[in-house]
A = this chain, B = another copy of it.
């Protein structure tokens, strides 16, 4: 797993082939199957190990929004360190122990927030989504807008021609706080109607963490 992570850090996820990992370990591809049931297994291990690097979780201070923001910042650092993580956590595989711990910690931070469980899961998933997006924003200076016709795409051309305006301070933090506040209610109270209803069906969620 360590060899695979080193490979992915250096040359990207596609470089993590069974043969490449085996070569790094001075063995052969087939031998790896003594310890792994499949390549997906290896990717799961990589993912959960990376999520483990989120420790130590930031100290609990401030309200839940401050705490979640601190967690998100740590996620962002992690994703910048391991640029392959964003792709892996989107797979619908089952969560490893570190991922479970992280989810539990996030839910703990939100334990006093009067919002439906559904909203909390969505909020955590969206927080990760924001992290992944921002972690990619800097690394890819790609220009997906090659040659465009200013007549057909006036707004796009204008926006690209005039990159002006200073980028807002801490766009990441702004987006995150807006999203979390909107999903989980105002910072202090204004609780969402929490009436007692017959329990609904369990919400579906994907193992998207880290």
Residues of chain A whose beta carbon lies under 8 Å from any beta carbon of chain B: 87, 90, 92-95, 99-101, 103-105, 107-108, 111, 115-122, 125-126, 129-130, 132-133, 136-138, 140-146, 148, 152-156, 158-160, 162-168, 171, 174-175, 177-179, 181-183, 192, 194-197, 199-208
A100 touches B145 (CB 8 A): yes
B200 touches A126 (CB 8 A): no
A37 to chain B, nearest CB (A): 16
A165 to chain B, nearest CB (A): 4
Q: How far is the CA of A205 from the CA of B164 in the complex (A)?
A: 15
A110 to chain B, nearest CB (A): 8
Q: How far is the CA of A155 from the CA of B62 in the complex (A)?
A: 20
Q: How far is the CA of A197 from the CA of B164 in the complex (A)?
A: 7
Give chain B residues whose Cβ lies under 8 Å from the Cβ of A111.
Answer: 155
B155 touches A108 (CB 8 A): yes
B144 touches A133 (CB 8 A): no
A128 to chain B, nearest CB (A): 9
Give chain B residues whose Cβ lies under 8 Å from the Cβ of A103.
Answer: 145, 153, 156
Question: 9 new A-B pairs (CB below 8 Å) besides A118-B165, A122-B137?
Answer: A103-B153, A104-B156, A117-B164, A118-B171, A138-B204, A142-B206, A163-B201, A168-B192, A179-B182
Q: How far is the CA of A103 from the CA of B120 in the complex (A)?
A: 31
| A-B pairs, 10 with minimum CB distance | A178-B182, A144-B207, A107-B155, A116-B165, A104-B153, A163-B202, A118-B167, A104-B156, A141-B204, A95-B144
With A133-B129, A167-B116, A174-B182 as given contacts, are A202 and B93 in contact (CB-CB < 8 Å)? no
A175 touches B122 (CB 8 A): yes
Q: How far is the CA of A178 from the CA of B180 in the complex (A)?
A: 8
A117 to chain B, nearest CB (A): 5
A173 to chain B, nearest CB (A): 10
